[in-house]
């Protein structure tokens, strides 16, 4: 906003748009909690179906939560690092092209602007202005030609921690009944009730933050968890017999 006209700057200062900007964090939470609620839930249901005592179910469940949190967190870290590496490679390539073939890159700017219905006599000054500002030119090409946003350098670590913590929180929910009920066949009923409630609440919140219909999202999330646990329970019963 350094070169913005004073009256326009005043208008922008008085107009504060409220957009949801925590999409990446919400995505990581959704990944962590959804897997955390579903996988340990299915494991606990399967072990309960095999008539394992609550202590065994709890021990196996906690081990799975620990391993799952590490695995999911590492996956989130590697995914974010891959995005950052991809951005860096494309940034270097675009820098080289601006130096090596500036006329071609300027033509690409004109083509991008023309796609928005801007006429040649209107975009020519914009192209000329960008050619005088290499950094602005580079930023324009990265965003509008390649569709890439500069990643936060802390994104990889934040993603790993967010997914891992969310997985732990979600994974502990179906295991709580096994901490207080000694008989697994009784604990699994309480686990099903608690987890389905958690899945419904989580699905509703997910729908709210992602812009989809919260009630539909809640039912879909609970249904997926119920199918996973029922399949695990049924398989354990079938193997035991």
Quick: pLDDT tens for 27-58: 888 888 888 888 888 888 878 777 778 889 89
Side-chain-facing half-sphere of 62: CA atoms under 13 Å = 9
* Chain-centroid distance, C-alpha 128: 39
**Torsion sign (Cα): 197, 203, 207, 209:** positive
Q: 153 near 166, Cβ under 8 Å?
A: no
Quick: pLDDT tens for 113-164: 888 888 888 888 888 888 888 888 888 888 888 887 888 878 889 999 999 9
- Candidates 238, 188, 222, 204; CA nearest to 43 is 188
Quick: pLDDT tens for 69-118: 999 999 999 998 998 888 889 889 888 888 888 888 888 888 888 888 88
Percentage with pLDDT > 70 across the chain: 86
Flag whether pLDDT at 167 surpasses 90. yes
- The span from the CA of 222 to the CA of 229, in Å, is 11
Q: Angle, nearest 10°, between helix axes 155-172 and 54-100?
A: 160
């Amino acid at each position: 906003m350094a070169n913005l006209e004073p009256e326009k700057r005043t208008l922008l200062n008085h107009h504060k748009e409220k957009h949801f900007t925590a999409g990446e964090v919400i995505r990581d939470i959704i990944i962590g909690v959804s897997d955390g609620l579903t996988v340990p839930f299915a494991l606990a249901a399967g072990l309960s179906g095999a008539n394992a005592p609550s202590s065994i179910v709890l021990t196996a469940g906690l081990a799975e939560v620990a391993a799952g949190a590490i695995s999911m967190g590492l996956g989130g870290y590697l995914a974010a690092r891959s995005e950052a590496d991809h951005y860096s490679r494309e940034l270097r390539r675009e820098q080289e092209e601006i130096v090596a073939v500036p006329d071609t890159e300027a033509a690409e700017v004109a083509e991008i602007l023309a796609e928005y219905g801007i006429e040649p006599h209107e975009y020519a000054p914009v192209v000329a202005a960008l050619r005088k500002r290499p950094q602005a030119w580079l930023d324009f090409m990265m965003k509008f030609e390649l569709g890439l946003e500069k990643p936060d350098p802390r994104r990889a670590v934040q993603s790993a921690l967010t997914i891992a913590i969310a997985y732990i929180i979600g994974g502990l929910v179906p295991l709580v009944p096994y901490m207080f009920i000694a008989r697994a066949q009784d604990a699994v009923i309480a686990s099903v009730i608690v987890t389905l409630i958690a899945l419904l609440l989580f699905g509703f919140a997910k729908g709210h933050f992602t812009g989809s219909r919260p009630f539909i999202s809640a039912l879909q999330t609970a249904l997926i968890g119920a199918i996973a646990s029922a399949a695990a329970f049924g398989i354990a019963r079938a193997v035991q017999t």
